[in-house]
Amino acid sequence: MILHFRLHSGIKPFACHLCPKRFSKKHHLGTHLNYHLNLKPYMCLNEGCEQKFTQSSNMRTHMKKCPHRKVEN
């Protein structure tokens, strides 16, 4: 309930210590810090592809179009 209220009220208690951005969810701050720290913990799962990503959503988007993707018949 508190998180729901926070999302709709605009309260963002989680602050980035490297820039002025603030976040309503701690997870979003963690993902944001990946950019600052140049961390890419998500790797394409297709064999032969070595692409890495800061966000899992970017990895999933890539995997749909990856040139190393095996197409099933």
pLDDT for residue 73: 54
Q: Is the pLDDT of residue 9 over 60?
A: yes
Report yes or no on whether pTM surpasses 0.75: no
Contact between 3 and 25 under an 8 Å Cβ cutoff? The reply is: yes
Whether 56 and 29 map to the same domain: the answer is no
Which of the four pLDDT bands, split at 50, 70 and 90, describes residue 22? very high
Give the angle 28-30-33 at the CA atoms, nearest 5°: 110
Q: Are residues 30 and 51 in the same domain?
A: no
Same domain, yes or no: 32 and 58: no
Give the number of domains in the chain. 2
Do both 50 and 70 map to the same domain? yes
Give the range of the structural domain holding residue 68, as residue numbers without chain letter.
40-73
How does pLDDT run across 31-73, given as a tens digit for each residue?
999 999 999 999 999 999 999 999 999 999 999 999 998 876 5
pLDDT of residue 10: 79
Whichever domain contains 33, its CATH number is: 3.30.160.60
Same domain, 32 and 61: no
Q: Are residues 31 and 18 in the same domain?
A: yes
| Mean of the per-residue pLDDT values of the chain | 88
